[in-house]
Structure 1
Amino acid sequence: MIFIKREFEAYLDEMDQITILLPNGSFNGESASFTLSDEKSTYPLEIIDRKTLQSSVKYICKTNMPITIGSKYMIIDEHSRKTDLQIGAVIRSQAFDEAFYYEKDDLGAQYQKGETTFTLWAPTASAVKIKLVAPKSKESIFYSLIREEKGIWRITVQGDLEGFYYTYLVCVNLVWREAVDPYAIASTINSESAVIVDKERINVPKVSMLPFNDATDAIIYELHVRDFSSHPKSGMVHKGKYAAFTEDPVEVSEIGMTGVPYLQSLGVTHIELLPLNDFGGVDEAEPDKDYNWGYNPLLFNVPEGSYALDPNDPYSRILELKNLINTLHHKDLRIIMDVVYNHVYIREDSSFEKIVPGYYFRHDEHGMPSNGTGVGNDIASERKMVRKFILDSIRYWLQEYDVDGFRFDLMGILDVQTINEVKEAVSVIKPGAIILGEGWELNTPLAADRKAMILNAKKMPGIAFFNDMVRDSVKGSTFNLFDRGFALGNTHKIALLKQSLAGSVQIDPNHKGLFLDPAQSINYIESHDNHTMWDKIAVCNSHENEETRIKRHRLAASVTLLSQGIPFLHAGQEFFRTKGGEENSYKSPDSINSLDWERKNRYSENVAYVRGLISLRKAHKAFRLSTVTEVKRHVRFPLDKGNLLMYHLNDVKQYGKYNHLLIIFHNGTNTENVTIPFSGEWEVLAEGSTASDLPIRKVNNEVQVPPISTVVLAQY
């Protein structure tokens, strides 16, 4: 680090504007003039504004001399006091963004057997070095990179550098900082250094799958890598690891089927895995010591090492994750990757902040980092090189790992243009890949009409959103543990329930609808966040016995799986997953978070019920309509009694073997005799604890609806 005695502060805040802060001490913060000097000349500055602050006097000065970002300048006042010119708010100006946008796709380390080229975007740096460390001798070698246009620094180093560790040393505002390459694709344990790998050694053949043409055909199952296998009775050997997904566990009589064969048998189409990229909060050297969901991103293009069999081997995590994905693909299961581009783990320690301080994050009107994410930083996705990083990263995961979609954490922090460009880029590489996200409105310094939130869904065609209207109308408010939705006995949320069943699109003039089409609606009642449904019911409906609470849980699941849109299940939801009442288990131990496979056997009747609903949904396209036009044409609600709602899919022979489907949702505690408003014979496909795509029995004119249940009727 270089130290310089600064007698005052000076910042470049616009390409031609400098802010100077003179302390109130000597000369009372007064100066009638300032000059700017480089190594060749000195130039006068024009003072255009002056304000007295509590401890200093603030001067805004104009310069007519073009400033070269990354070069060294000194500011001198009339009393011959001097300081270096630091990079200030100019970093966040549109002019800076335009001047330094770099469009090529060669950032990072490009390895060949005989040489490796390193390319880094660091426009505000006055010098950049690379530190290479030999993997065996641990000897360090330093090279200086050469500055090129658009803020690019580059060097080609001769020799075979496979396995070498590397970091960058970047000098900005006379301060040297060491950072890991944000474009790294491999790392040492605990993300201390990037590692140069030979892509030929990670070139695993992909499994060929047909394009997934219609998003509403998806049934998403959310899962955490470690939770999947960490339970003592999981039957999987490699507990908590990527490798557990490649196992074919031996069935034990008291547990039954587990692992990927169980996922396949359930009938879901997509497995959404919580963050797979390298994250903080778990020591990769002692991965069993701590637990974390993974929303602490460190290196965005490197797989997490705590899930690898050998986190010390940079190749291990890459190959094991690819094998996981291939295994799922062989089973006709697709993978959605949970991505966390909205924030970093610790802003000050991030490579972004060390390499280009102040650029990658949003700041408020006072120059302080904004905190809409609640973790101390918001990614400034609207800036060109931030957006480029996100797009480059998305393309990398698609092309290198063959993932089938992305779930954007706190997507409301990001901007509409970035998300639309993500959709465009994904569609080129893998048509049919699903993009979904949390579209919550968050307090970040971005205009409301630019936020990628649910209120702007109609500006983002093809992007799906977690639908909190579905969640809250069925279950009750997530933020009020005692609030009850329809499934828990509330009879005042029928209007919201109707909208939910219709995919939250506009079906009548009185309701605008949230979405352009039903494929934008992610219908869910629980996820990894907040209380599980089972735990909420235990509190809200503590006056009821377990048998009744099971019925309520089952009713909620039927709404999720029979509504228009995309159903989303939290892993273990089908066997009443509990976290012992823990609301926020992001770093709770395995005893709280692990998928309890014993419950799968204990509640096998409900597992069979959910499996039956899934098969019913997959058997008839009428439950999976793709457009708002189709929903308007075919969705009706012929009966609404407060505690009983009839949902009619009318004239749908073109979508399957039945012409009419009639679904009755009932949250009352007494049996209801319901007159069928349409003549003829009807097949019963679901009632009580049974659901199937095959008929259970037949009825005419009237059907008996059991307490707290869903009945599905079908007619040719």
Structure 2
Amino acid sequence: MSRAESSKAVELHRVQSFGLLRKTLPPVDASPGIWIAKEFPGFSNLKLGRGSPYPFGVTRVANNGFNFAIFCRSRGVRLCLFPPLDCGTRGILQDAAAEIVLDDNLNVTGDVWHCTVYNIPEGSLYGLKIEGVPRIILDPYAKWVASGAKSMWKVYEGELEEVKVVSEYRETSFTSKFPGLDTLKDVKFPFRLGLISEPKVAEFDWENDKSPGLSYEELFIYEVHVRGFTMHSSSNVSEERRGTFLGMIDRLDYLQSLGVNCIELLPIMEFNELELCPFNELELKYSPTTKELLCNFWGYSPISFFGPMCKYSTDFLKVGVELKTLVKEVHKRGMEIVLDVVYNHTADASAPFHFLNAANVWYMHDEKGPYSNLSGCGNTFNCNHPVVLELIIQSLRWWVSEYHVDGFRFDAAGILCRDQDGTVLKRPPVVEAIVKDPVLKNVKLIAEAWDAGAMLDSPNYLIGSFPFGDCWLEWNGKFRDTVRHFIKGTPGMVREFAKAIGGYFDLYSKRAYGPCHSINFVACHDGFSLYDLVAYDRKHNESNEAGNADGIDDNISWNCGVEGETDAENVNSLRRRQIRNFILALVVSRGVPMLTMGDEYGHSKLGNNNTWCFDNEVNYLLFGEEAEKRHDYFLRFVRMAFAWRQANRLLRLRQFMSWRDVQWHGHRIDHPDWSSSSRFLAFTLKNPKDGRASIYVAFNSSSNSYEVQIPNAPEGRRWLRIVDTNLASPNDFWSPNESETVLLDSNSKYCMVPFSAIALHTVDPEQVVRGEPSTPQNLASNSYYNSSILTRPVSMESLVSADLEELEEYWESFIATSLNDEQSNTDTDRTWNMDTQVE
């Protein structure tokens, strides 16, 4: 007799007050087959077949069937089927329509449980029961997840209003309602169910969509949070679309106005925003200062590696369509979209019930506890186990093939480079599999090339040495720290600052894309915002309900004399100079620049350097006049600066600086001061075609004013002042229709005040008199510029004007050089006290 013929039906009765099954589920020793609840006649025609062990997850097969294949080393597995949802915004707590008890002989191949089920009603959902796990589990390979749309944000599943008090949560919690979970006391969020097939509403026309295929040297990356981008009322996005994928489409014009061409989305894989703290506590968390309910706003705790975050949609049954629409619209504008992905840990800090945690496969373990914490988030994903590796590869392929994303930024990518014991691997299998996968061949791969192992005496800092490095760009934490140190006036940073500007030859000289392997940033979602770097000396995380113990303590920041907001104009003027200095350093450095959401207008998080838990204005982007005017029209400065960079290929070369195209200076021409006390650096960028000077940049991070000697300009040309960060807008960045035009002669003098920077550009003075060029883009006609887009890596010999051996000699001598025989003007005569207010 077949298994389908032996299927049984059992009458299961509901508790009407809850609408949930109680104690009448199939017994523990139920025989294999289909058990159906009488309340769901639509499931009475189910038939069961043996199925196939591959591919994992759910696959549609012939004769109206679906194949289910689940890796699990447990002795018992049951497939739970749930009825279709009747509303795209409701919760998912409801009765199971059927349980399929799998046969441990017929439905198992190796470690894979499988079956084929026929005649499942369209739109049904499913989950898994595993022996020894007292809750229903989401299939790790579920492609579509049901969790409610935007209207369910910060609302517990099955409830129609936000939880207000802990006692109410205990009384109405999922664990108190669902059968068989009475012994599970520490589950702090509801389960998720998978949709068996893509909703019919999800039909989509890509219109021959294709990635723009931008080259690395063309990129300007903008790190953005989907919800935070448009939730503020100033976004002028409709209430329904605010905080969603569709809402982002409504403000893509804003990103284009910044010059952004690569959007890096903070995690959009399904996560639980009500994972309220990383220690798996039941109690809700409220801010001790604002009294609001805290949440996991950033989303760095994935529940699914395949399903997009439903609560970033207006209707969760259409979340796939809405995300695809966003990607298509981004591509139409010539921009790319990169996903921030988290394969280093999963949502739970202790027992991760939504994954099949069997036989030490999915997670790393150590002698100190059941779960290793190399991720810093309570558990560590075992990325280099073959089963986990397969999941990661299939997940990445899914996002590329189904959603057309252009690349991935791997959070805490150092975890990808560890074996099950936490040992660092030189050739980690998962990294090798990613770079050699045919589907992933042309996507952009970005590594946050470290993890939290240093906290556990297991450091894994891989900047410049990430495995298979030719295929990876890296978040360059060294650039971030060096620029912060130099701009705030830390002594002994001039050489490191020059290396940062030059593209880090010592880190990336052997890689195919040269300095473009370095993603340069001064601030990101982690840590202080750009403005807070110049407004706070120490973190102020009291609102986080962690006693100000969370977040890093060493922020390499300087408050310019006063902690926090002040009306002192001398302090605010200095702060404005410093944030402009940061942007100029980012613009003139070789590599790929990245800006995080809000830093373009000087957004402040009020000194909080760990705002992961706030769904409010601290994490919302501001639009309109208030943003435009903030910090003396800083937003204008940022737009102009990146337009200038984009127009001048001399600022975007995929080659390292060498003696052929850069000339270093101090405040006197050709006299750079590399001493430990120096806080001044200037340089001239020369046209590689003819060696003529084109751009001059100088940074004064000392407390002294200097009369700077201006280099020789090519014959018939003069220096046009493009930037002076000491000047008020619109003279801080030159525009002929708004700014004062200042032309400087060769060997003339220019006064630079303390903590300021300037940038000059050679021009034909007659053009300027005639009102040309009129925009930063038009300045390109006076510089080395080529608009062609290179899409393939090329050899080092063709990348640089000098061969590799010559470059190595240049940078080695550069690093070692100290001009002891020069009487350079330094600021050793005055000690700058970072704790005192500027006079």
TM over 0.5: yes
Match of residue 497 from structure 1: 497
The aligned residue for residue 270 of structure 1 is: 262
CA deviation after TM superposition for structure 1 residue 652, in Å: 2.5
TM-score, normalization: structure 2?
0.63
Letter in 2 for 1:272: E
Match of residue 582, structure 1, among 608, 612, 622: 608
Deviation at 1:633, TM superposition (A): 5.1
Distance 2:744 2:389 in 1: 58
1:287-302, aligned counterparts within 5 Å?
291=295, 292-302=297-307
Q: Which residue of 2 aligns with 1:553?
A: 579
1:647 aligns with 2:683: yes
Where in structure 2 are the equivalents of 1:423-438 lying within 5 Å? Answer: 423-425=435-437, 428-429=439-440, 431=442, 433-438=443-448
Q: 1:197 to 1:353 in 2, by over 3 A?
A: closer
Which residue in 2 is equivalent to 1:412?
Answer: 414
Rounded to whole Å, the distance in 2 between the matches of 1:447 and 1:114 is 56
Deviates more, 1:666-675 or 1:222-231: 666-675
Change (3 A) 1:418 1:139: closer
**1:320-366 Cα shifts (integer Å, max 9, x gaps):** 22222222222222111111110011155535643534211111256
In the TM superposition, 1:324-403 aligns within 5 A as: 324-346=326-348, 348-350=350-352, 353-354=355-356, 356-365=358-367, 368-403=370-405
After superposition, what is the alpha-carbon deviation per residue over 1:44-93, rounded to whole angstroms, capped at 9, x for unaligned?
A: xxxxxxxxxxxxxxxxxxxxxxxxxxxxxxxxxxxxxxxxxxxxxxxxxx
**Kept in 2: contact 1:271–1:333 (CA 8 A):** yes
Of 99, 108, 116, 1:142 maps to 99
In structure 1, list runs of 5 or more residues that go unmatched: 1-102, 248-258, 476-484
Aligned residues of 1:378 and 1:444 also touching (Cα < 8 A): no
**Is 1:440 paired with 2:450?**
yes
CA shift at 1:669, angstroms?
A: 5.2
How far is the alpha carbon of 1:527 from its aligned partner?
Answer: 0.7
Cα deviation per residue 1:459-489 (whole Å; 9 max; x = unaligned)? Answer: 42221222122111222xxxxxxxxx22223
Question: Structure 1 residue 486 and structure 2 residue 498: aligned?
Answer: no
Q: CA deviation at 1:554?
A: 0.5
CA distance in 2, matches of 1:584, 1:305: 25
**Which of the numbers 238, 243, 246 marks the counterpart of 1:240?**
243
Task: Report the Cα distance in structure 1 between the residues aligned to 2:256 and 2:70, rounded to whole angstroms.
Answer: 44
Give matches, 1:501-520, under 5 Å.
Answer: 501-506=501-506, 517-520=514-517
- The residue number in structure 2 matching 1:634 is 661
Task: Give, in whole Å, the separation in 2 of the partners of 1:445 and 1:391.
Answer: 29
Q: Distance in 2 between matches of 1:273 and 1:229?
A: 13
Structure 2 stretches lacking a partner, 5+ long: 1-51, 86-93, 148-156, 158-190, 277-291, 418-427, 537-557, 562-569, 667-671, 726-731, 763-781, 783-839
1: CA distance, partners of 2:214 / 2:234: 37
- What code does the residue aligned with 2:260 have? V
Tell me, yes or no, if the aligned pair for 1:615 and 1:692 is still in contact at 8 Å: no
CA contact (8 A) 1:467 1:521 kept: yes
1:541 has 2:559 as partner: yes
Tell me the CA shift for residue 239 of structure 1.
2.1
SS at 2:470's partner residue?
Answer: coil
Deviations 1:394-431 (A, max 9, x none): 11111111111111111112114423432333x74462
Secondary structure at 2:535's aligned position in 1? helix
- Asked if structure 1 preserves the Cα contact closer than 8 Å seen for 2:123 and 2:199, the reply is no
Q: CA deviation at 1:441?
A: 4.6
Q: 5 Å matches for 1:173-184?
A: 178-184=136-142
CA distance in structure 2 between the aligned counterparts of 1:422 and 1:447, rounded to whole angstroms: 28
Does the C-alpha gap of structure 1 residues 434 and 575 become closer, same or farther in structure 2, counting only changes over 3 Å? Answer: same
Counterpart of 2:520 in structure 1 is 523
In 2, distance between residues paired with 1:444 and 1:545?
37
Aligned to 1:193: 193
The answer as to 2:303 corresponding to 1:303 is no
Once the two structures are superposed, residues 219-265 of structure 1 have per-residue CA deviations (whole angstroms, 9 ceiling, x without a partner) of 11111111111112221112222221132xxxxxxxxxxx2211111
Q: Secondary structure of the equivalent of 1:711?
A: strand
What residue is the counterpart of 2:723 in the other structure?
687
Residue 82 (structure 2) pairs with residue 133 (structure 1)? yes
| Aligned partner letter, 2:298 | W
- What is aligned with 2:743? 698
Give the 5 Å matches for 1:560-579. Answer: 560-579=586-605
Contact kept in structure 1, 2:350 and 2:379, CA below 8 Å = no
Equivalent residue pairs, number: 577
The answer (yes or no) to whether the contact 2:53–2:109 under 8 Å persists in 1 is no
Identity %: 25
SS in 2 for 1:178: coil
Amino acid at match of 1:601: E
Instruction: Write the distance in 2 (CA, Å) between the matches of 1:351 and 1:609.
Output: 49
Q: 1:587-602 maps to which residues of 2 (within 5 A)? A: 587-597=613-623, 598-602=625-629
1:280 aligns with 2:307: no
Q: Is the 8 A contact 1:673 1:704 kept in 2?
A: yes
User: What amino acid does structure 1 have at the position aligned with 2:231?
Assistant: S
Tell me the alpha carbon deviations over residues 264-320 of structure 1, each in whole angstroms, 9 at most, x when there is no partner: 111011111111011113499xxx96541101211121111222223xx4x222222
2:122 matched residue in structure 1: 162
Q: In structure 2, do the counterparts of structure 1 residues 518 and 160 end up closer, same or farther at CA, with 3 Å as the change threshold?
A: same
- Aligned AA (1:541): N
Q: Aligned partners of 1:281, 1:210: CA distance in 2, in Å? A: 31
Determine if contact 2:598/2:621 at 8 Å carries over to the other structure: yes
Aligned to 1:469: 478
User: Counterparts in 2 of 1:663-682, with a 5 A limit?
Assistant: 663-668=697-702, 671-680=705-714, 681-682=717-718
1:118-166 residue CA offsets vs partner (Å, 9 max, x unmatched):
3334251323221111226955212244445442222111125431110
Structure 1 residues 271, 692: CA separation in 2 closer, same or farther (over 3 Å shift)?
farther
Secondary structure of residue in 2 paired with 1:303 = coil
**Matching residue's letter, 1:276:** I
Deviations 1:82-122, CA, capped at 9 Å, x for gaps? xxxxxxxxxxxxxxxxxxxxx99721111358434333342
> Which amino acid is the alignment partner of residue 155 of structure 1?
C
Bigger proportion of residues as strand: 1
Which residue, 86, 110, 113 being the options, matches 2:59? 110
Change (3 A) 1:324 1:705: farther
Aligned residues of 2:397 and 2:439 also touching (Cα < 8 A): no
Query: Amino acid of the residue matched to residue 225 of structure 1?
Result: V
User: Aligned-pair distance for 1:181?
Assistant: 0.6
Describe the shift of the 1:704–1:445 C-alpha distance in structure 2 as closer, same or farther (beyond 3 A): closer
Matched-pair contact (CA < 8 Å) for 2:202–2:318 = no
Alignment TM-score, normalising by the size of structure 1: 0.73
Amino acid at match of 1:472: D
Query: Following TM superposition, by how much is the alpha carbon of 1:439 offset from its aligned partner in structure 2, in angstroms?
Result: 1.5
Report SS of the residue matched to 1:663: strand
Q: Is the 8 A contact 2:721 2:744 kept in 1?
A: no
Q: CA separation of 1:196/1:428 partners in 2, compared to 1, >3 Å: closer, same or farther?
A: closer
Residues 176, 643 of structure 1: CA spacing in aligned structure 2 closer, same or farther, 3 A cutoff?
Answer: closer
Q: Which amino acid aligns with 1:339?
A: V
In structure 1, distance between residues paired with 2:138 and 2:57: 10
Q: How many Å apart are 1:661 and its aligned residue?
A: 2.6
Q: Deviation per CA, 1:502-545, whole angstroms, max 9, x where unpaired? A: 111239xxx99999821221111111111112113112234251
Contact kept? 1:298, 1:350, Cα under 8 Å? no
1:712 equivalent in structure 2: 759
Q: Kindly provide the CA deviation profile for residues 659-691 of structure 1, in whole angstroms up to 9, marking residues without a partner as x.
A: 633222222455533223435334426222544
SS at match of 1:298: coil
Shift of 1:170: 2.5
Opposite residue 234 of structure 1, the aligned amino acid is S
Query: SS of the residue aligned with 1:714?
Result: strand
CA-atom RMSD, angstroms?
A: 3.4
SS in 2 for 1:382: coil
For 1:402 and 1:650, locate their aligned partners in 2 and report how far apart those are by CA, in whole Å. 40
